Amino acid sequence: MSTTETTSTWQPTACILCSRNCGIEVQLRGRAMTLIRGDKANPVSQGYLCQKAQRLNFYQNHADRLTSPLRRRADGTFEEVSWETAIAEIAARLVALRDTFGGESLAYFGGGGQGNHLAGPYGKALRTAMHTGNYYSALAQEKTGGFWVDGRLYGRQNCHATEDVEHADVVVFIGTNPWQSHGIRNARTFLREIHKDPQRKMIVIDPCRTETAALADMHLQVRPGTDAYLLAALLAVIVREGDEDQEFLAKRTTGFDAVRAALLDVPVEQYAQMAGVALSDITQAARWITNAQSCAVRTDLGLEHTLNSTLNQYLRALLFLLTGNFGKAGGNNLHTALVPLMGHSQEGEQQKRSAVGGFPFITNLLPPNILPLEIDNEHPQRTRGLVVDSANPLVSMPDTQAYRQAFAKLDLLVVIDVALTETARAAHYVLPAASQFEKCEATFFNLEFPANAFHLRRALFEPLPGTLPEAEIYTRLLRAMGVLPSDFAELKAAARQNRLAFAQAFQKLLKQQPELADYAPVILYETLGPTLPPGLAGAAFLWATAHQFAAKHPAAVRRAGHQGEGPLLGEALFEAILNSPSGMVFSVSEYEESFAFIRHADKRVHLEIPEMLAALRALSGNHATPSDDYPFVLMAGERRSYNANTIYRDPGWRKDDKDGALRIHPEDAAALGLQDGGWARCESKRGAVVARVALTDVMLRGVVALPHGYGLAHPDESGVRQLNGVNINELTALEDCDPVAGTPWHKHVPVRVSAVSSTA
């Protein structure tokens, strides 16, 4: 397309800035996205979008887009190399490390941000070729504690209970601000509606009076880091009054007696006080919840990125389970997944652990908090080679200093990204990916119930010259590593014939060589891919996915409107995925199926988790209070109107909060001599930053907040890199994390704050 040509048609795709992936329609001029609006045809978002999506051209076009593979020279600068050279050299070095030190010496980080998950299965194939299971991702710095709990409750760590807020009489939001972060469908519309509805209630548990809290019927302004106390007190009030759902507990669960005994020991008044919430409010909240027809509980980072992270998530699950709000409309429900976002790690004797520190895997993932420790040591099995795809750990993961130091010790760091990020600048090789609007893409955030949707997006543009889609990058790497035994000529011929012939040939191949199953995404890309509509080759693995899903959940697929018997249902599902550029519903479940999705043989929820009950009993007295040295609690990583992880690198996209201000209560500011719009130094045990100050009484006294996603260096008009705002992970420390899941305590960083006259 020429640079001046304007398309007057609206083209469907999706916003890539958060897990909602709202459907959008875009008008283009040349390679620019000029107009953006919500796509009414998207079955989930139905035309909704928020202010962040309007600026997507800042992601698509900016000064740091990569256009050539880069290789680091001895002096630290980069030289451009051809794709052939980069792939051959990286493959040779990966194979050499693998064969010299074993697959354990290699690791993989990333595998998809907020909009791009199609590379995930290819990344898995690469890990197979690297002979490693070492897989780190952002998911393992937020959700793995909850997944571990789910594993015990429901039998598998990938049994995920989503919240049916739209049908709930009472909605409880704990540690989440959906007005800004979304996380639920069409959040602002939903929040306005429930706010106006006198029949329904919203309870928000958050130390800040967030936009969401301001719309709530009840705001429990919990002291940071004390949710475990608050939730324990809330649950204790429910069981003390005998208000648990006894019929549900008897019929659907095991282990309630042990839970009840632990809850009856909770010193309710003391815990309410520690949480800073009036007992009368807790009792009122308990009544609202137990008297409601239905109650859905939604939580996020405020509960995960803080003290007692895994215990918090156990208690939040008990809240909907003890009150019988599971497996029903308006409650929490287990759901289907077309491409599961996470796996399951066995516990007990088969527990897999990291090579150096022995940290257990959860959902086949390791937490980013341990990665620098796995690299930076003299252990024979230390991590020596790392492939990073679509993540920027040198900014977004805890303890930037420790990360920087550890990455400098790697024998090989390969980064696959669209932009020359902080992490890319530390790499030995950088591979430029086509952007999410230059290839087909999808996310695996399909967490809806009862109707669950999937959106395979088509490319809006040709790949930027010099870039390649990940499917092609991984396929070339695997070919160069020599792990693919042939060119699959027979399969290619069968694919050209028809899908049925292909299915037979593919099954025959996997029967003869079952070890190739791990490389299936790449094989399908090479063989079936070329027969798919133009631009969709990277989605070829979804053919196998669709067949597997339809075979497992035929009734749910039919309820979603797809027809056919046996393999024809799988074909129909795959065709619908390919031919729904605005997204499609792939399954419709019935509420009762939540119980069928439980993986324990007895199909009951196993409420008793001994480690968690022990943690609950050990709670009293372990609450870290601010010290004289560091009297403030910093919430390091707030979602605001103008941050979106590190996806937008060009600060020009921000309409306000351009420096990412430190938010502080006016009385705290006055005591410190801080001015609105002035500057403050914020110092933790790990480091110090200087940030812009914003006064607001939505903050509790003694608590300050900084947004994440700042501290990126971007070239200005003359090409000089300028730092925009502060990188909050200069303040965080590896060791400050949950003992079970390794998830960081970002919302609870002890700091001291002082006035300074400028950023200097």
Query: What is the H or E stretch that residue 633 is in?
Result: strand 632-638
The reply on whether position 18 binds ligand SF4 by CB under 6 A is yes
Taking CB under 6 A as the criterion, the residue among 49, 174, 402, 456 binding ligand SF4 is 49
The reply on whether position 298 binds ligand SF4 by CB under 6 A is no
Q: Residue 55: phi, psi to the nearest 5? A: -105, 15
Q: How many residues bind ligand SF4 (CB under 6 A)?
A: 11
The reply on whether position 317 binds ligand SF4 by CB under 6 A is no
- Taking the complex as a whole, the smallest distance from the CB of residue 115 to ligand SF4 amounts, in Å, to 8
Asked whether the beta carbons of 67 and 465 are under 8 A apart, the reply is yes
105, burial (CB in 10 Å: exposed 0-12, middle 13-18, buried 19+): buried
What whole-number distance in Å separates Cα of residue 76 and Cα of residue 66? Answer: 18
- Taking the complex as a whole, the smallest distance from the CB of residue 54 to ligand SF4 amounts, in Å, to 9
Taking CB under 6 A as the criterion, the residue among 17, 233, 285, 388 binding ligand SF4 is 17
What whole-number distance in Å separates Cα of residue 746 and Cα of residue 482? Answer: 42
Taking CB under 6 A as the criterion, the residue among 11, 13, 21, 312 binding ligand SF4 is 21
The reply on whether position 665 binds ligand MGD by CB under 6 A is no
Instruction: Choose between 491 and 728: whose C-beta lies nearer to ligand MGD.
Output: 728
State the DSSP code for 114.
S
The reply on whether position 230 binds ligand SF4 by CB under 6 A is no
Instruction: Choose between 178 and 255: whose C-beta lies nearer to ligand MGD.
Output: 178
Instruction: Choose between 254 and 641: whose C-beta lies nearer to ligand MGD.
Output: 641
Cis peptide before 450 (omega within 30 of 0): yes
Binding range to ligand SF4, per CB under 6 A, among 46-54, 136-144, 610-618, 708-716: 46-54
Taking CB under 6 A as the criterion, the residue among 53, 468, 473, 669 binding ligand SF4 is 53
What whole-number distance in Å separates Cα of residue 27 and Cα of residue 360? Answer: 47
The reply on whether position 639 binds ligand SF4 by CB under 6 A is no
The reply on whether position 205 binds ligand MGD by CB under 6 A is yes
State the DSSP code for 169.
S
Query: Which residues lie closer than 8 Å to 176 by C-beta, 6 or more apart?
Result: 183, 206, 212, 298, 299, 300, 301, 302, 303
Binding range to ligand SF4, per CB under 6 A, among 44-52, 381-389, 414-422, 423-431: 44-52
Selection from ligand SF4, ligand MGD, none that 49 binds (CB < 5 to 8 A by kind) is ligand SF4
Binding range to ligand MGD, per CB under 6 A, among 24-32, 136-144, 254-262, 657-665: 136-144
Q: Which of 437, 465, 440 is nearest to 535 (CA)?
A: 440
Q: Which of 606, 687, 620, 748 is nearest to 256 (CA)?
A: 606
Taking CB under 6 A as the criterion, the residue among 180, 308, 452, 475 binding ligand MGD is 180
Q: String of b and e for 567-592 (b: at least 16 CB within 10 Å)?
A: eebbbbbbebbbebbbbbbbbbbebe
The reply on whether position 98 binds ligand SF4 by CB under 6 A is no
Site for ligand MGD in 211-230 (CB under 6 A): 222, 224-225, 227
Site string for ligand MGD, 736-755 (x = CB under 6 A): ----------xx--------
Query: Which residues lie closer than 8 Å to 180 by C-beta, 6 or more apart?
Result: 210, 211, 639, 640, 641
What whole-number distance in Å separates Cα of residue 175 and Cα of residue 181? Answer: 11
Q: Which of 505, 503, 504, 478 is nearest to 491 (CA)?
A: 505
The reply on whether position 152 binds ligand MGD by CB under 6 A is no
Selection from ligand SF4, ligand MGD, none that 736 binds (CB < 5 to 8 A by kind) is none
Query: Which residues lie closer than 8 Å to 576 by C-beta, 6 or more apart?
Result: 562, 584, 586
Q: How many residues bind ligand MGD (CB under 6 A)?
A: 62
Which amino acid type is present at position 457? Answer: R
The reply on whether position 391 binds ligand MGD by CB under 6 A is yes
Binding range to ligand MGD, per CB under 6 A, among 74-82, 99-107, 172-180, 565-573: 172-180
What whole-number distance in Å separates Cα of residue 644 and Cα of residue 18? Answer: 7
The reply on whether position 87 binds ligand SF4 by CB under 6 A is no
Taking CB under 6 A as the criterion, the residue among 22, 315, 433, 691 binding ligand SF4 is 22
- Extract the tokens encoding 705: 């907040």
Binding range to ligand SF4, per CB under 6 A, among 12-20, 513-521, 543-551, 554-562: 12-20
What whole-number distance in Å separates Cα of residue 238 and Cα of residue 268? Answer: 11
What whole-number distance in Å separates Cα of residue 574 and Cα of residue 479? Answer: 27
Q: How many CB atoms lie within 10 A of CB 321?
A: 26
Query: What is the H or E stretch that residue 253 is in?
Result: strand 253-254
In three-state secondary structure terms, 205 is: strand
The reply on whether position 52 binds ligand SF4 by CB under 6 A is yes
The reply on whether position 15 binds ligand SF4 by CB under 6 A is yes
- Taking the complex as a whole, the smallest distance from the CB of residue 712 to ligand SF4 amounts, in Å, to 18
The reply on whether position 684 binds ligand SF4 by CB under 6 A is no
CA 69 to chain centre: 27
The reply on whether position 33 binds ligand SF4 by CB under 6 A is no
Binding range to ligand SF4, per CB under 6 A, among 13-21, 163-171, 337-345, 410-418: 13-21
The reply on whether position 732 binds ligand MGD by CB under 6 A is yes
What whole-number distance in Å separates Cα of residue 647 and Cα of residue 712? Answer: 10
The reply on whether position 50 binds ligand SF4 by CB under 6 A is yes
Q: Which of 123, 709, 63 is nearest to 418 (CA)?
A: 63
Q: Which of 555, 592, 537, 560 is nearest to 453 (CA)?
A: 560
- Taking the complex as a whole, the smallest distance from the CB of residue 655 to ligand SF4 amounts, in Å, to 14
Q: String of b and e for 140-173 (b: at least 16 CB within 10 Å)?
A: bbbbbbbbbbbbbbbbbbbbbbbbbbebbbbbbb
Residue-level length of the chain? 760
- Taking the complex as a whole, the smallest distance from the CB of residue 116 to ligand MGD amounts, in Å, to 4
Site string for ligand MGD, 442-481 (x = CB under 6 A): ----------------------------x-----------
Instruction: Choose between 212 and 323: whose C-beta lies nearer to ligand SF4.
Output: 212
Taking CB under 6 A as the criterion, the residue among 152, 639, 692, 752 binding ligand MGD is 639
Binding range to ligand SF4, per CB under 6 A, among 50-58, 83-91, 137-145, 312-320: 50-58
The reply on whether position 183 binds ligand MGD by CB under 6 A is yes
With CB atoms as reference, the residue minimizing the distance to ligand MGD is 637
Q: Looking at 59-134, which runs of residues are DSSP E strands? A: 70-72, 78-80, 106-110
Binding range to ligand MGD, per CB under 6 A, among 38-46, 256-264, 401-409, 727-735: 727-735
What whole-number distance in Å separates Cα of residue 180 and Cα of residue 698? Answer: 15
Taking CB under 6 A as the criterion, the residue among 516, 524, 532, 636 binding ligand MGD is 636
Binding range to ligand MGD, per CB under 6 A, among 76-84, 299-307, 337-345, 534-542: 299-307
Residues that bind ligand MGD (CB under 6 A): 18, 113-114, 116, 138, 141-142, 174-177, 180-183, 205-208, 210, 222, 224-225, 227, 300-303, 306, 389-393, 396, 416-419, 421, 433, 435-436, 470, 635-640, 643-647, 708-709, 728-729, 732, 746-747
Residues that bind ligand SF4 (CB under 6 A): 15, 17-18, 20-22, 49-50, 52-53, 182
